[in-house]
Amino acid sequence: MGDRAVIEIHQEGGTVCLYSHSDGLHLRKVLAEALNRGFHRWDDLQYLTRIIFSEMTKGHEMATIGYGIHVGDADDLGPDNPTIYLDWSKDMQLDISCSTGTTNHLIIFTPTEWIEKYLP
């Protein structure tokens, strides 16, 4: 049993998931750190996706297990923690959403709001 978690990234043309097998409880803070470091790439989701994955794997870059990239829905991966969704909309707005607590109600954040909530 792991502490699996997924960041599901939606953009025009498809969905990609960044997967962590054992850092699920920390993934919200990791995303905040990546968004903070990559603030100048919020309008370039290809680069931002790589920045997020680099932050997720920091210190484990050469490992052959623990992290992955999946094309498709997060549900295919069976996460233990609520999935975090990044949605790059047609109006060039990056929205982040996730469920909180025991409800499936999604709360929507801007990147700045996410950083303020999850970085000390």
Q: Is residue 63 part of a domain?
A: yes
Q: Is residue 120 part of a domain?
A: no
Half-sphere exposure for 17 (CA within 13 Å, toward CB): 21
Which residue's entry shows tokens 């953009």? 11
Answer yes or no: is pLDDT of 78 > 70. Answer: yes
Answer yes or no: is pLDDT of 103 > 90. Answer: no
Question: What domain count does the chain have?
Answer: 1
Q: Is residue 102 part of a domain?
A: yes
Q: Is residue 39 part of a domain?
A: yes
Reference 53, options 82, 86, 79; nearest CA is 86
Q: Is residue 99 part of a domain?
A: yes
Q: Is residue 53 part of a domain?
A: yes
User: Which residues is 111 bridged to in the sheet?
Assistant: none
| Residue-wise pLDDT tens digits, 50-60 | 999 999 999 99
**Could you list the residue range(s) of the whole structural domain that residue 42 is in?**
5-115
Pair of tokens at residue 99: 């469920």
Q: Is residue 73 part of a domain?
A: yes
The answer, as to whether pTM is greater than 0.85, is: yes
